[in-house]
Homo-oligomer: A and B are copies of this chain.
Amino acid sequence: MTANTNPGAGACPLPHPATETVLLGHGSGGRLSEQLLREVFLPAFNNPYLDQLNDQATVPLAGEALAFTTDSYVVNPLFFPGGDIGSLAVHGTVNDLAVGGARPLYLSAAFILEEGLPMAHLRKIVASMQAACQASGVVLVTGDTKVVERGKGDGVFITTSGVGAMELSRTLSVDRARPGDRIILSGPIGDHGITILSVREGIEFETGLESDSAPLVSPIRKMLAACGGVRCMRDPTRGGVSSTLNEIARASGVGIEIAEARIPIRDQVRGACELLGLDPLYVANEGKFIAVVAAEDADKALEALRQDPLGRSAALIGEVVEEHAGRVVLRSRIGGRRVVQMLAGEQLPRIC
């Protein structure tokens, strides 16, 4: 028996008890991921940079502030409408720098290939990475390749790391949200997760649905240039919008209230979620960000964002409140209110 079952807990299985083996949910971006981070990684590597728990670290180098981030990509399938593991591995890491307020500059790429991978697949992935680098304004300057035996990997895993210049004098951080601040979302949610799911399961929900995987450098720069009141930004990837908002609420010690009716979502994503019993608030995005902005700057931020193709459907979806500190509450279309938790288990493994 693994310790992740909790037979004595009855109707209240949370908080998740510590497990003795790694579960798929430890890679979900939700509660189990956070538990792994807090119980295994943070105590070991304890230092002020890592402890900030931003998606990138800001460290001093030669008197300047350097932004540094890393992510592994294990998405399955390798190719999907709107991108592939290569473009995703560039966009994801570039976005972690951009939402931290840095100008992305350099990328590294480390490949773990499974013996027998068709060379044509690798060439296609690499070409797609290079196109994504060019679109993102970064240069891939160093890399590595390892090969594992058949059945010890799964085609290709890619780890990209990114270095950027933290040019802004202001400090963006997830602990800076304050009551009264507004929550802005840069566009419709769930496109990436539902696209991956539909390809993986062979379900065709609707023609034309694609992953939203894209570099967020341009819309973020427009928004930051237009207003100074941005507290923090995050891209709601694994774990979706709900997990990101929960992280901000906890880190800042504030409540967050969002309105279901204001959250942009495509009809085919909504339909697929209803059909499959998924909550779109937990579905992964790869080309969206959430910004917490001072109330007086929210209109300016929205206006600037909407000037960019990747922010055209940006919306004000809620606000930071003093009540229910550390919790996120959703006002539903029909007037109800419910607490939106962090993702508890694993919704869609290997989404990124």
Looking at the assembled complex, report how far the CB atom of A220 sits from the nearest CB atom of chain B, in whole angstroms.
19
CB pair A44 B129 closer than 8 Å: yes
- A28-47 at interface with B (beta carbon < 8 Å): 33, 36-37, 40-41, 44-45, 47
User: Does A338 belong to the interface (CB within 8 Å)?
Assistant: no
User: Does A64 belong to the interface (CB within 8 Å)?
Assistant: yes
User: Does A207 belong to the interface (CB within 8 Å)?
Assistant: no
Residue of B19, B47, B105 touching A61 (CB-CB under 8 A): B105
Residue of B36, B45, B120 touching A130 (CB-CB under 8 A): B45
Looking at the assembled complex, report how far the CB atom of A107 sits from the nearest CB atom of chain B, in whole angstroms.
9
User: Does A24 belong to the interface (CB within 8 Å)?
Assistant: yes
Stretch with Cβ within 8 A of B (4 or more), from A156-164, A195-203, A262-270: A156-164
List 18 interface pairs A-B (beta carbons < 8 Å), by A numbering. A19-B119, A21-B116, A22-B113, A22-B119, A25-B147, A44-B123, A49-B142, A50-B141, A59-B139, A59-B163, A61-B105, A62-B62, A70-B110, A70-B161, A74-B112, A110-B161, A148-B350, A161-B161
Copies in the complex: 2
CB pair A163 B165 closer than 8 Å: no
CB pair A122 B40 closer than 8 Å: yes
Contacts of A308 in B (CB 8 A): none
User: Does A133 belong to the interface (CB within 8 Å)?
Assistant: yes
User: Does A339 belong to the interface (CB within 8 Å)?
Assistant: no
Residues of A within 8 A of B (CB): 18-27, 33, 36-37, 40-41, 44-45, 47, 49-50, 56-57, 59, 61-64, 66, 68-74, 105-106, 108-120, 122-123, 126-127, 129-130, 133, 139-149, 151-154, 157, 159, 161, 163, 165, 349-350
How many Å lie between the Cα of A108 and that of B62 in the bound state? Answer: 19
CB pair B147 A349 closer than 8 Å: yes
Chain B: which residue is nearest A119 at the CB level?
A: B20
Contact A105 B159, CB 8 Å, known A113-B26, A141-B47: no
CB pair B108 A68 closer than 8 Å: yes
How many Å lie between the Cα of A140 and that of B64 in the bound state? Answer: 19
Residue of B27, B63, B71 touching A113 (CB-CB under 8 A): B27
Given contacts A21-B118, A26-B145, 12 further A-B contacts (CB under 8 A): A20-B120, A23-B147, A40-B122, A44-B130, A47-B140, A57-B142, A61-B105, A68-B142, A70-B110, A74-B148, A148-B350, A149-B349
Contact A40 B123, CB 8 Å, known A161-B108, A165-B61, A350-B148: yes
How many Å lie between the Cα of A20 and that of B122 in the bound state? Answer: 10
